[in-house]
Structure formats: C-alpha cells, structure tokens
Chains A and B, each alone.
Chain A
C-alpha cells in the first residue's frame, strides 16, 4: 500500500509535466485548429537553449529560464505561427500535420548533428533529498514540480477567466466568426495562444529535463503523451488536458512497478484506445456536433 501511494505521488509530478505540454496542445487546437506534431520538440529545444545559456553565457538557472522563455516565445511561438502555420492553415489539416512532422525531424536532427547526440545532465531547480511524511518518502523535486506546474496552471486559468484579454481568447476559441463580429482582434488573440503554448513548453522543459536528461529525442515521448493526455481528458476542455496528463503519469508509474518497466511507454496508448472506444469525446469533454 505504501508503495502504491509513493508511486501515485511521483506519478502525479510527472503527469503535471505532461499536462503542461498537453495544455498548450489543447489551446492551439481550440484557437487556431492547429495540431502540432512538433510539440515534443517545443519542449526539447528550450531545454537545450537553457543549457546553452548556462554553459556558454554562464548565467544562473533562473535567468537562463527567463531568457529561454523569451527565445522560445519568439521562435517557437511567433516564428512558428508566421512561418509555418499562417501559410499552411488554408490548405487544411493534413499539410500542416506533415509540415510539423518535418519540423519535428528537422529540430531533432539539428540538435543531434549541430550540438550533441548524448544525453546531458540538467541542473535541478529544486533541492535534492526527500522528506518523510509518516512512512511515505516524498522528494523535494516532486513537490517542487507539482507546486510550480500548479502555479502556472492556476495563473493561466485566472488569466483566461478573469481578464478581458483572456476572455477574448476564449471567445475566439469557441467561435471565431462571432468573436470577430464582436470586435475582438482575432489574429492578435491567436498569436497570444501561440506565445502561451511556447511558454508552457519552456516551463515543461525546465521541469522534465532534470529527471529525464536533455537529449535530442526527449520530445518524442513527451509530444505523444501530450496528445494522448489531451484526448483522454477531452480535446475541447482545458481541464481535460490536466486530468489526462496526471492520469497518464500515475498509471505509467503503477504499470512500470507492478507489471513491467519495459511496457511503461505503452500505457498512454492503451488508455487512449480505451477512452476513444467508450467515450470518444474524452473523460471531461462535451460531444461536438459535426459541422457540415
């Protein structure tokens, strides 16, 4: 029993990181109809940018993180939207999917060929060690990850629900045409969504890299799990992405411990298949009417 609780706690922390990536995924889909197959690389690239700032410029981690957020929002937010999504979105979903797949390969191999194919250790933003809670051992890193991810998610929800800009963004996500009629600057709101996605990815990079190391192909599994998390929770619900991410994190840990660590990577797929078989709109999602 103690094992199980332990696994659930650390699984929740991993899940919180998946949830951050999944949240960006969902926001992009809602506001811009964009499915980003390079979402995992959007997490991998900031991890390496942070390493670059720390080892070549020599700034401390917190400053490297802030600088990376700016770089990420500029290139993976603004640049991604203007350079790839804007010219392609009118051709429908498939060319965009292919282009983001190409981008995913390109970014991965660029880091591999231009920097390194090795896994790089990444400094932990939280102190080492663990504390005991009864007979439960919780590491500071897990608690820190959960709190930081939770803080980001709560501030994002506050921004979306309490500010005029946030509500305008939600309006755009719900009905672009109606939002335009109401005088909302749709293009600006969509741009904000891309910037937020890039920011969330940079946060996920900061949290995931200390445990999973910075490696050129680290994005493969994060990107996949972000998508699975988004579907499991419900693609049209922001809360769904959070639930899906945490659920995957916990189940992966439990399966890895009780069944076989070799099949940990398959958990998300199984959960995904079960959800789309029995509840295609996702656990928290609302069924969408098909548009003709």
Chain B
C-alpha cells in the first residue's frame, strides 16, 4: 500500500471507530472504551517488546499501579489532570527501579523479574487493606469533568478516552521517529553494533521499558475511571500475559500491531462466549500454532504472501 492509501485507511477506520458507539448499547460502548484503555497499555508494551526487544510479563502490574493511584487519589478528591501525570510518573519510576537490576543481565531475566514483580504487586494490592481495600477493592471512583462538561455518561467518556488514546499514539509515533526511537530499534536489531555506534544500550533499554510502564499507568487511570471500581483481579499475571499476547499476535514491533492484537484479546472473548471455559485453552494452543506458522504476527500475513509470490 502506498503512504496515501494507508492514510486513507487509517482515517476511515478512525472515523468508523468514532461513529460506531453512537449506534451501540451501553455494553458495546463500554467494550470499545475498554479497548482504548487496554490499547494504551499494549502500545506501551509494544515499545518495550517490539521496538526495544525486551520481554515484559508485568505490564498489568503497572496498569494496576496506575489504576490504584487513580482510585486512591480521585476518591480523596484530587483533580483528574493532576492524578494522571502522578500515576504516569509513579509507573515510570517503578519501571526504572525494576528494570535497573534486570537489564544488567540477559533479556529473558527481565521476563521473570517482571513476572515476579507482578506477583508481588498483586500481593500488595490484596493484603494492604488499609491502602488498597484488599479484595473488597475501592469503589465509587469519580469520573472527571472537562471544562464544565460531565463525562459520567458512557458516550462522552468513550470520546474522552478515545481522544487520550489518539494523543498517546501520536506521542509514541513521534518518539519512534525521533533519534531515541531509532536507537531503540537499533539496539533490538543488533545490540553490539548499536553499542559500537555510541548508543548506551542499558540506558536506552531502561528508558524504553520505563516509558512502556508509564503508558500502562496512564491506561490504568482511565481503567479505574471507566469501571469506577478497582480490585486486584484485573491486574493478575494473567492480564500481563494477555497484554503480551495482544502485542505478539498483532505483530510486535509494528506500530499498528497492538491495535489488531488488542481487538483480538478484548473483543474475541465476547464473540467466543459460547465456548465458555474452553476459550482460554483454545487461545493458548492457538498462540503456539501462530508462533510456529506465523512468528511475525497477524500483520506479517501480507508480507508472507508477497514473499511467496516473489519466490514463485
């Protein structure tokens, strides 16, 4: 596809996505908002996994840290636009603190460090009842209002979240086009060459990881205000795996990979409700099959066909 065609397709899908909720019932609007919320976290994860080439299995922990920051501070009456940067910075700092030891060694260490971190964060959420409400969670999280407009209704809140998702996507797009973003890809593709060209591997990987964590934190704030209630369950390690699979299934290291992947992991379970418990089993084995036949993810299908055509 030429660049112009791509822009047309992108614009058309954005418009379709913006118009669609008008015709949907409350649950449909909720799902589309949830998609946006997850997308913020998976776009951040794509930066870590897809562009910087690091495995992270703890994205839901950062998502949860953001959500709990929002829950605690918003119920205390702090304004939304103060809470949002606080949550993002908190996740960024947590990302630095976790990434610093793990990134000094080989990259699969980070996978297990983040996995363990997620378990620990989950334990804190469940056990520190004074702060987090334990398994009862924190209820009645207020939704923000925008210059006098109330965002309490599903549709206005959807547009509010949708706009934030687009802004975050644009910020990441800019980041990836900047010299920083180029350096991320360079150290994924050939770390030794990148280092000899003067890229500080550890600093850049750490930065990519922390920025990815901050994106999850922002997503978490919107999640808390979307459901108005937080409890530990949505931030379990399972959620981290789901997010990672969203990135991989779509095509990691491709800008639109998480979007396709998040559609698969957020909306597909709704369509496959009839399979009930078997859904996750099928999903797990489908991931294995996908890796064997299509290691590049769904977005690599066109290239696969092109390569086949060229070979014949």
Q: Taking beta carbons and an 8 Å cutoff, which residues of A are in contact with B? A: 35, 37, 84, 87-88, 91, 93-99, 101-110, 112-114, 117, 220, 224, 227-228, 231, 260, 262-263, 265-266, 268-269, 272-273, 276-277, 280, 292
Do the beta carbons of A272 and B113 come within 8 Å of each other? yes
Do the beta carbons of A280 and B105 come within 8 Å of each other? yes
Report the stretch among B65-73, B144-152, B171-179, B283-291 that lies at the interface: B283-291
- Cβ-defined partner of B119 (8 Å) among A95, A99, A224: A224
CB distance from A266 to the nearest CB of B (A): 4
Beyond the given A35-B108, A107-B284, please list 9 additional residue pairs across the A-B interface where CB-CB is below 8 A.
Answer: A94-B53, A103-B285, A106-B288, A108-B280, A112-B281, A266-B116, A266-B123, A276-B113, A280-B105
**Complex alpha-carbon distance, A68 and B104, angstroms:** 40
A102-B291 CB under 8 A given contacts A97-B111, A269-B120, A273-B113: yes
**Complex alpha-carbon distance, A159 and B223, angstroms:** 55
Report the stretch among B38-46, B155-163, B237-245 that lies at the interface: B237-245
Do the beta carbons of A88 and B284 come within 8 Å of each other? no
- Looking at chain B's contact residues, the main secondary structure is helix
- Cβ-defined partner of A228 (8 Å) among B116, B278, B287: B116
Q: Which residues of A contact B284 (CB under 8 A)?
A: 102-110
- Cβ of B101 under 8 Å from chain A: yes
- Looking at chain A's contact residues, the main secondary structure is helix
Do the beta carbons of B244 and A228 come within 8 Å of each other? no
CB distance from A137 to the nearest CB of B (A): 29
**Complex alpha-carbon distance, A97 and B288, angstroms:** 10
Do the beta carbons of A109 and B281 come within 8 Å of each other? yes
Report the interface size for chain B: residues with CB under 8 A from the other chain: 44
- Cβ-defined partner of B288 (8 Å) among A84, A109, A228: A84
**Complex alpha-carbon distance, A171 and B208, angstroms:** 39
- Cβ of B277 under 8 Å from chain A: yes
- Cβ of B109 under 8 Å from chain A: yes
Do the beta carbons of B241 and A265 come within 8 Å of each other? no
CB distance from A103 to the nearest CB of B (A): 5
- Contact code string B111-131 (vs A, CB < 8 Å = 1, else 0): 111011101100100110000
A228-B101 CB under 8 A given contacts A98-B245, A102-B288, A292-B192: no
**Complex alpha-carbon distance, A242 and B19, angstroms:** 59
- Cβ-defined partner of B280 (8 Å) among A93, A101, A109: A109
Do the beta carbons of A269 and B281 come within 8 Å of each other? no
- Cβ-defined partner of B101 (8 Å) among A117, A265, A273: A273
**Complex alpha-carbon distance, A120 and B126, angstroms:** 25
Q: Which residues of B contact A292 (CB under 8 A)?
A: 192
Do the beta carbons of A106 and B120 come within 8 Å of each other? no
